[in-house]
Amino acid sequence: MTPTSTGHDHESPMPRITTDVLIVGAGGAGMYAAIAAAREGATVLLLDKGQVGRGGATIMAQMTVAVALAEQEPDSVERHFQDTLDAGRGLCNEQLSWLLCEDGPRRIREMERWGTRWAREDGHVKQEMAPGHSVKRCCYVDFLNTGPAVAATLRRKVSEASTIRRISNLSVIEILVRDGRAIGALALDLVDGQFISIHAKAVILAAGGLTKLYQRNSASANMGGEACALALWAGAELIDMEFVQFFPIGHLAPRLVGMDPIMWDPFRYKLGGKLLNGRFEEFIDRYGSSDFGRYNAMRDLAAYAILKEVETGRGTPHGGAYLDFRHIPESQLRAAFGPVIDRLLANGIDLTKTPVEVGPMAHYHMGGIRVDVNMQTRIEGLYAAGEAVGGANGANRLSGNAITEAFVFGERAGLQAAESVKGLESNWPDDVARELIQQFDELRNVRSIETTTPIAIQAELQNMMWENVGPFRTGEKLSPALERIQQMQQELPGLRIGRVDRFNLDLQDWFELRAMLTTAEAVATSALARRESRGAHQREDFPAPDDSFLKNQALRLENDKLATSWIDPVRLKDNASRHG
């Protein structure tokens, strides 16, 4: 990409693009934010390090969207809100949770007007039950097509707005802040290796989650937690970083090509299915829930139960549990999942004959960037949206809440950012990115004798995060992990970066690793400090919840070091604050 169209300053030594609102990341949250900002009159630059609208989690989601439409049975915003708080184990930012539940129906109806075909029956949007929801609330697009369908709708809508400029293959590596205000960003062109400065009056971080930090994950290649690192370096705060959701029944075996590793969830919504240990025994009841043939156990409990069975030697060959649909007639399987059954057969999986192996994998992050109810961080003009935001789901997320969150928070961030720039003068000192560029350019000129590549360290980090900062944690495992992460940060400048300009993957991996290490450090630091077990954060050395920890943990950088503060969760005090 070489930015030669309007806004590119040819006199400048470095390509520069100008816009009112810069959006970093073009998944569900970023695209919704772009649409909302454009309809509020702002010019928008929507960037993605992958392909716009195809790079992150949104397009991968095949399952459901939780929203109180009350199409199948009575439901209300209050009820969805209460279920969200119950799942969040006392740590939800209630203003954000309320916003998610209250605005969800508006966004889902809007998506339908824009062309998303939610599955319908007898004139009603079909809604399914899912764990933790007290009513049938989860809508979807058949068959296992929710993410691709909503992404296509948003891509179309974005392309209709002439004031939204889209650029793919541009990775934002730093947010630029002057006098306490975000004024743009520095990006790396992944094709030709050039740095590009972007001058904006407001910036929205919608760069998604961090599950690629873990060796076992359901993530796309672009989910290395860069949004959190960018926010932290810019001076914003992070919150609840210890709460990584491990999806209990990610696909482990047999090999599955071209299908979502967490696709078994909708099978369980619709058909149940038995969860069995390596000895073909049902076992969830041993861990305080009942799941027999149905799908009731919450995600954190199911993940715990499976890993405990594995630990006690009752796991399956690939270290998980069996999911068994053999008792369900083929006609019923086909009625529920038609073409998907054939895709499974093409993968050599016949559900009427063989159970599949499933196990926990990193899937979603409840923590993230700390924002107010307008999605603004503590840095003026710096907003966040989608999975990058922390707080709405507390210590554990209900299934289906993440896509709703992406749409609702995206819309809110876009609207607020666009309003905030009205009448605002540009503020772009010329030297603003120069120092950073010099620093980064030196990287490419170092003839390192080091042979270790950034990708090798990424792999080491992912393995260590899974082993030491994974679903079950102890102080003994967390402390050395934190030390090694800090050591890796010292090693960063010496890593080998090839000297080619075009398609330099080492350079791309280097910048990604730099952000991954910052975010991993934030997760490990928070996990070590929370000496209790709550929701998705399980400490084997502190196995019970402890109400002295009924607080959120906020992190910020002070003199380049992480500083922690414990804060009371934001509560909804009265009706007025619900709309604040």
Instruction: For residue 61, state whether it binds ligand FAD (rule: CB under 6 A).
Output: yes
Minimum CB separation of residue 547 from ligand FAD in Å reads 29
> Which residues inside 21-40 make contact with ligand FAD, applying CB under 6 A?
24-30
Q: Among residues 28 and 320, whose Cβ is nearest to ligand FAD?
A: 28
Q: Among residues 226 and 324, whose Cβ is nearest to ligand FAD?
A: 226
The SS3 of residue 392 is: coil
Instruction: For residue 267, state whether it binds ligand FAD (rule: CB under 6 A).
Output: no
Contacts of 487 by beta carbon, 8 Å cutoff, 6+ apart: none
Nearest by Cα to 54 from 25, 24, 27: 27
- Measured between alpha carbons, how far is 135 from 73 in angstroms, rounded to an integer? 7
Minimum CB separation of residue 474 from ligand FAD in Å reads 27
Minimum CB separation of residue 540 from ligand FAD in Å reads 27
Pairing of strands 181-189, 244-253: unpaired
Nearest by Cα to 398 from 174, 83, 118, 155: 83
Q: Among residues 104 and 569, whose Cβ is nearest to ligand FAD?
A: 104
- Measured between alpha carbons, how far is 264 from 395 in angstroms, rounded to an integer? 23
Q: Among residues 222 and 453, whose Cβ is nearest to ligand FAD?
A: 222
- Measured between alpha carbons, how far is 101 from 66 in angstroms, rounded to an integer? 9
> Which among 42-50, 68-76, 156-164, 440-448 is the span making contact with ligand FAD, rule CB under 6 A?
42-50
Q: Among residues 401 and 533, whose Cβ is nearest to ligand FAD?
A: 401
> Which residues inside 395-424 make contact with ligand FAD, applying CB under 6 A?
400-403, 406
> Which among 47-55, 120-128, 155-163, 194-202 is the span making contact with ligand FAD, rule CB under 6 A?
47-55
Nearest by Cα to 93 from 388, 389, 382: 389
> H or E stretch including 438?
helix 434-445
Instruction: For residue 58, state whether it binds ligand FAD (rule: CB under 6 A).
Output: yes
Q: Among residues 278 and 386, whose Cβ is nearest to ligand FAD?
A: 386
> Which residues inside 325-384 make contact with ligand FAD, applying CB under 6 A?
364
Instruction: For residue 506, state whether it binds ligand FAD (rule: CB under 6 A).
Output: no
Q: Answer yes or no: are the C-beta atoms of 484 and 520 closer than 8 Å.
A: no
- Measured between alpha carbons, how far is 485 from 529 in angstroms, rounded to an integer? 16
Contacts of 141 by beta carbon, 8 Å cutoff, 6+ apart: 116, 117, 118, 119, 149, 150
Contact residue for ligand FAD among 3, 56, 359, 381 (CB under 6 A)? 56
Whats the size of the chain, residue-wise? 580
Pairing of strands 382-384, 195-205: parallel
> Which residues inside 162-201 make contact with ligand FAD, applying CB under 6 A?
171-172
Minimum CB separation of residue 312 from ligand FAD in Å reads 29
- Site track 219-258 with ligand FAD (rule: CB under 6 A), x = hit: x--xx--x--------------------------------
Contact residue for ligand FAD among 36, 57, 96, 379 (CB under 6 A)? 57
Minimum CB separation of residue 301 from ligand FAD in Å reads 19
Nearest by Cα to 238 from 568, 564, 577, 483: 564
> Which among 62-70, 123-131, 306-314, 488-496 is the span making contact with ligand FAD, rule CB under 6 A?
62-70
Q: Answer yes or no: are the C-beta atoms of 205 and 369 closer than 8 Å.
A: yes
Cis preceding-peptide flag for 143 (omega within 30 of 0): yes
Minimum CB separation of residue 207 from ligand FAD in Å reads 4
Instruction: For residue 103, state whether it binds ligand FAD (rule: CB under 6 A).
Output: no
**Strand ranges in 111-194 using DSSP code E only, listed in sequence order:** 120-121, 124-125, 138-140, 164-167, 170-178, 181-189
The SS3 of residue 81 is: helix
Give 214's DSSP letter.
S
> Could you list the residues that contact ligand FAD (CB under 6 A)?
24-30, 47-50, 55-58, 60-61, 63-65, 146, 171-172, 206-209, 218-219, 222-223, 226, 260, 262, 364, 386-388, 400-403, 406
